[in-house]
Amino acid sequence: MTTTTLDEEVERSPEEAAFDAIIDADSRVEPRDWMPDAYRKTLIRQISQHGHSEIIGMQPEGNWITRAPSLKRKAILMAKVQDEAGHGLYLYSAAQTLGITRDEMTQQLIDGRAKYSSIFNYPTPTWADMGAIGWLVDGAAICNQVPLCRASYGPYARAMIRICKEESFHQRQGFEILLTLMQGTAAQREMAQDAVNRWYWPSLMMFGPPDDQSPNSAQSMAWKIKRFSNDELRQRFIGMLVPQAEILGVTLPDPNLRWNEDTGRWDTSEIDWDEFREVLSGRGPCNAERLQRRRDAHEDGAWVREAAAEYARKQSENAQKAVA
Ligand code: BYC
Q: Is the CB of 138 under 6 A from ligand 1?
A: yes
Q: How confident is the model at residue 324 (pLDDT cuts 50, 70, 90)?
A: confident
- For residue range 18-38, what is the model confidence (pLDDT) as tens digits? 999 999 999 999 999 999 999
Which of 49, 54, 145, 283 for a ligand 1 pocket mutation test, highest count of atoms within 8 Å of Cβ? 49
Q: Give the CATH number for residue 243.
A: 1.20.1260.10
Please say if the pLDDT value at position 236 is more than 70. yes
Mean pLDDT of 184-190: 98
- For residue range 238-272, what is the model confidence (pLDDT) as tens digits? 999 999 999 999 999 999 999 999 999 999 999 99
Q: Is the CB of 53 under 6 A from ligand 1?
A: yes
Please say if the pLDDT value at position 5 is more than 70. no
Please say if the pLDDT value at position 129 is more than 80. yes
What does the CA dihedral 143, 125, 47, 92 come to, rounded to 10 degrees? -130
Q: Is the CB of 206 under 6 A from ligand 1?
A: yes
Q: How confident is the model at residue 234 (pLDDT cuts 50, 70, 90)?
A: very high
Is residue 287 domain-resident? Answer: yes
- For residue range 137-153, what is the model confidence (pLDDT) as tens digits? 999 999 999 999 999 99
The CA-to-CA distance between both ends of the chain, in Å, stands at: 57
Measured in Å, residue 144 CA sits from the centre of ligand 1 at: 10
Instruction: Specify the number of domains making up the chain.
Output: 1
Tell me the residue range of the domain where 67 lies: 15-323
Q: Which residue, 144, 151, 266, 243, is CA-closest to 203?
A: 144
Which residues make Cβ contacts (< 8 Å) with residue 266, sequence separation at least 6? Answer: 235, 238, 239, 242, 257, 258, 259, 260
Is residue 8 domain-resident? Answer: no
Please say if the pLDDT value at position 1 is more than 50. no
Is residue 156 domain-resident? Answer: yes
> DSSP character for 279?
I
Instruction: Determine the pLDDT at residue 12.
Output: 87
Please say if the pLDDT value at position 3 is more than 70. no
User: Quick one: which atom of ligand 1 is closest to the CA of 138?
Assistant: 42
User: For residues 10 and 324, what is the distance between their CA atoms, to the nearest angstrom?
Assistant: 56
- For residue range 65-83, what is the model confidence (pLDDT) as tens digits? 999 999 999 999 999 999 9
Is residue 3 domain-resident? Answer: no
Is residue 10 domain-resident? Answer: no
Which of 41, 42, 46, 223 for a ligand 1 pocket mutation test, highest count of atoms within 8 Å of Cβ? 46
DSSP one-letter string for 227-239: SS-HHHHHHHHHH
C-alpha atoms less than 13 angstroms from C-alpha of 297 in its C-beta half-sphere: 14
Give, using CA atoms, the residue closest to atom 31 of ligand 1.
214
Is residue 1 domain-resident? Answer: no
Is residue 4 domain-resident? Answer: no
Q: Is the CB of 144 under 6 A from ligand 1?
A: yes
CB environment 76-109: b (16+ within 10 A), e (fewer): bbeebbebbeebbebbbebbbbbebeeeebbebb
Measured in Å, residue 218 CA sits from the centre of ligand 1 at: 15
User: Quick one: which atom of ligand 1 is closest to the CA of 57?
Assistant: 23
Beta strand residue intervals within the chain, DSSP E: 258-260, 265-267
Measured in Å, residue 84 CA sits from the centre of ligand 1 at: 16
The radius of gyration of the chain from alpha carbons, rounded to an integer in Å, stands at: 22
Is residue 2 domain-resident? Answer: no
Mean pLDDT of 161-172: 94
Which of 216, 217, 281 for a ligand 1 pocket mutation test, highest count of atoms within 8 Å of Cβ? 216
Long-range pairs for 222-226: beta carbons < 8 A, 24 or more residues apart:
222/1, 222/2, 223/23, 223/39, 223/42, 223/152, 224/23, 224/26, 224/150, 224/151, 224/152, 225/42, 225/43, 225/46, 225/148, 225/151, 225/152, 225/153, 225/156, 226/147, 226/148, 226/151
